[in-house]
Structure formats: structure tokens, C-alpha cells
């Protein structure tokens, strides 16, 4: 167990600090109900008595990554779980994480923040949640234990370091992973297991370096939460660069009052790659309309963290 990893994000305390939940969108409410009432009870299940072992870690990794895609993920990768990948106070009794990601539809981020962008965030939490539950069911049907790490945000594993180590992309100035072709508009989850698996590697596609010369997310963040400079005290990312640290105490009030904000994702300069094929005939623009009403005052939890640090990654 790590004593240096951050505690799990205390959603209830943060919402209490901004006067409670104020986003009232019926479709969002329905997705949340389905996630908590229908998906959470399906995290566990019977492990088949007969166990199928794989010929090698390579074969197992290839098979399970392909299965993850079949279960509904758009991308999949594998990494070894280190203590700093687990939220402080939580435990994960497995060695590997099979990380999965699913893209969000660009056409729902044409105006941000908006009802449409909020619903799309929740839709993908739900559909990617189905993908990790299906993958976990499959692993148990092979006679192996596993643990579901749902994308919605109260998992035991930190999705960002897991996604970086699984080769999903590089850490952007806005604190989200940028995939070389999907850009930053995707969500992540994982399934933890101890089946011996070949692991993927972090990538260096020049994305993190690009952020040093691009400030689009910084400029459009209405809460002034995205930093000008990297913070050496926050530790290095997987490429050895000091991390950019988003100020959660500024971001969260805006996020909580304005449809989960999300402005920093569709304005990101990396939104111009493969996902554009996702237009599917819908009328879309290359750059979203960004609504930036006055930000609410910043809040910090008295006992909590003013900023949400991610741990220094081992290389
Ligand atoms: S979600 Fe909104 S407030 Fe938070 S960092 Fe992104 S742009 Fe800024
Ligand atoms: S908008 Fe620019 S600076 Fe911000 S994360 Fe994207 S590429 Fe990096």
C-alpha cells in the first residue's frame, strides 16, 4: 500500500463545499441511477471452477485486449499495478490492470458546457462501465479472479497513471491523457487481474512537449485552473517532465455548477485527428462554442487537498 498516493476524490465533501449538487438533467440522473443501482451490483460474480490458463503472457495479453474491444472498448492496454496507482486507503489485490478507453462523440461537445456535453460524459461512463463489467465476467468465466475499476470516479485505481503506463497517450497541460489519434475526448476504466500478462509501454509521440508551446486549454479555462507552468514539486510524468497541476479547488466549483464543464477537452489542439471520422454525417464545427460565465469562488477542503496530485510514476 502506498502512503504517497492521493486519497480517493471525496465527491460528497467537494459538492458540500460548493453548496450541494446543482446539475439537474434528467438523462444524467438516469445514467447515474443505472450505474449505481444496476452496474455496481454486477461488479462481482462467480468464478468458474475450471480454470483456463494461457500458453504465455503474450498470448493472454493479446487475447484479453482483443476481448476488451469486443466488450465495447475503443482502446485497450495493459500495465503492472504499482502501489502508487492505488488511492491511499484502498487495496487492489491484483498484479495487472487491463485498461480500456472509449471515445466521447465530438458532436455532443459543439457547445460547452452544455446539457449535451454533460449527458455524453455520463453516457460514456455508463457504456464503458458495461464494457469493464463484461470483460470481468469473461475473465471469471475462464476461472480467474478479477476486480472491476469503473470509469465514473470512485475506483480504487487512479485511471490516469494506469492509462499512461498502458500506452494510451501523454499527459496534457489540462491534466487529461491525450491519445495520439483519439485526442483527449475519451474516458477510461480497467479490470485488475493476476493472470500473467505481457505489459504495454508508455508512449512518447511529442504530445507532452507540444503542450509547452500551446495554451489553448489554459486560455479557455473559465476558472483559471490550468497552470502556466509545470510544477517540479508534483513529480514527473512518465516521460520525466515535471507535471502540470490543475487546481482542483478552482476547477471543481465550475465543473459542479456548469454541466461538468469539460471545456478543456474539446478546445484541446489535439482534437483534430482520427475521431473526426466520427462525424457520421452530423453537422459539426471544428471548434466548439465556449460559454464562459463568471467562475464561482474557489473552494478548498479544510482537511483535503487544494489540488489533486497524481503520484510520481516509476519508470
Ligand atoms: S473542466 Fe473546466 S474549469 Fe476544470 S480545468 Fe477544464 S476548463 Fe477549467
Ligand atoms: S490545449 Fe494545448 S496545452 Fe492544452 S492540453 Fe491540449 S495540446 Fe496541451
For residue range 42-75, list pLDDT tens digits in order. 999 999 999 999 999 999 999 999 999 999 999 9
- Quick one: cell of 99? 485498461
**Cα–ligand 1 centroid distance for 51 (angstroms):** 46
What pLDDT is recorded for position 154?
Answer: 80
Positions in the chain whose pLDDT score sits under 50: 306, 311-315
pLDDT of 274? 56
Residue to probe by mutation, ligand 2, list 217, 230, 262, most atoms within 8 Å of CB: 217
Q: To test ligand 2's pocket by mutation, which of 173, 176, 218 has the most ligand atoms within 8 angstroms of CB?
A: 173
Q: Can you give the pTM of this predicted structure?
A: 0.92
Nearest one of 131, 104, 129, 100 to 119, comparing CA atoms: 104
- Confidence (pLDDT) at 314: 41
Question: How far is Cα 11 from Cα 86, in angstroms, rounded to an integer?
Answer: 17
- Report CA(215)–ligand 2 centroid distance (Å): 6
pLDDT of 299 reads 79
Amino acid at each position: 500500500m502506498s502512503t504517497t498516493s492521493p486519497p480517493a476524490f471525496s465527491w460528497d465533501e467537494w459538492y458540500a463545499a460548493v453548496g450541494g449538487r446543482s446539475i439537474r438533467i434528467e438523462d444524467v440522473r438516469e445514467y447515474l441511477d443505472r450505474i449505481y443501482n444496476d452496474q455496481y451490483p454486477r461488479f462481482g460474480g462467480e468464478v468458474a471452477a475450471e480454470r483456463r490458463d494461457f500458453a504465455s503472457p503474450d498470448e493472454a495479453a493479446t487475447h484479453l485486449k482483443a476481448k476488451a474491444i469486443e466488450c465495447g472498448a475503443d482502446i485497450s492496454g495493459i500495465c503492472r499495478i504499482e502501489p502508487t496507482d492505488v488511492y491511499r486507503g484502498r487495496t487492489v489485490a491484483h498484479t495487472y490492470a487491463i485498461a480500456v478507453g472509449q471515445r466521447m462523440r465530438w458532436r455532443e461537445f459543439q457547445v460547452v458546457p452544455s446539457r449535451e456535453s454533460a449527458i455524453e460524459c455520463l453516457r460514456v461512463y455508463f457504456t464503458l462501465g458495461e464494457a469493464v463489467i463484461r470483460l470481468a465476467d469473461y475473465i471469471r468465466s475462464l476461472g480467474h479472479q478479477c476486480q472491476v475499476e469503473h470509469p465514473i470516479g470512485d475506483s480504487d485505481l487512479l485511471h490516469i497513471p494506469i492509462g499512461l503506463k498502458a500506452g494510451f497517450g501523454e499527459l496534457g497541460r489540462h491534466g487529461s491523457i491525450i491519445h495520439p489519434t483519439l485526442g483527449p475526448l475519451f474516458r477510461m476504466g480497467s479490470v485488475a487481474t493476476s493472470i500473467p500478462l505481457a505489459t504495454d509501454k508508455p508512449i512518447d509521440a511529442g504530445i507532452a512537449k507540444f503542450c509547452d508551446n500551446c495554451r489553448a486549454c489554459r486560455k479557455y479555462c473559465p476558472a483559471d485552473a490550468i497552470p502556466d507552468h509545470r510544477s517540479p514539486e508534483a513529480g514527473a510524468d512518465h516521460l520525466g517532465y515535471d507535471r502540470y497541476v490543475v487546481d482542483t479547488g478552482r476547477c471543481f466549483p465550475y465543473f459542479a455548477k456548469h454541466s461538468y464543464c469539460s471545456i478543456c477537452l474539446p478546445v484541446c489542439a489535439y482534437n483534430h485527428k482520427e475521431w473526426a471520422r466520427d462525424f457520421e454525417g452530423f453537422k459539426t464545427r471544428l471548434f466548439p462554442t465556449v460559454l464562459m460565465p463568471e467562475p464561482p469562488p474557489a473552494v478548498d477542503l479544510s482537511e483535503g487537498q487544494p489540488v489533486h496530485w497524481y503520484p510520481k510514476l516509476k519508470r
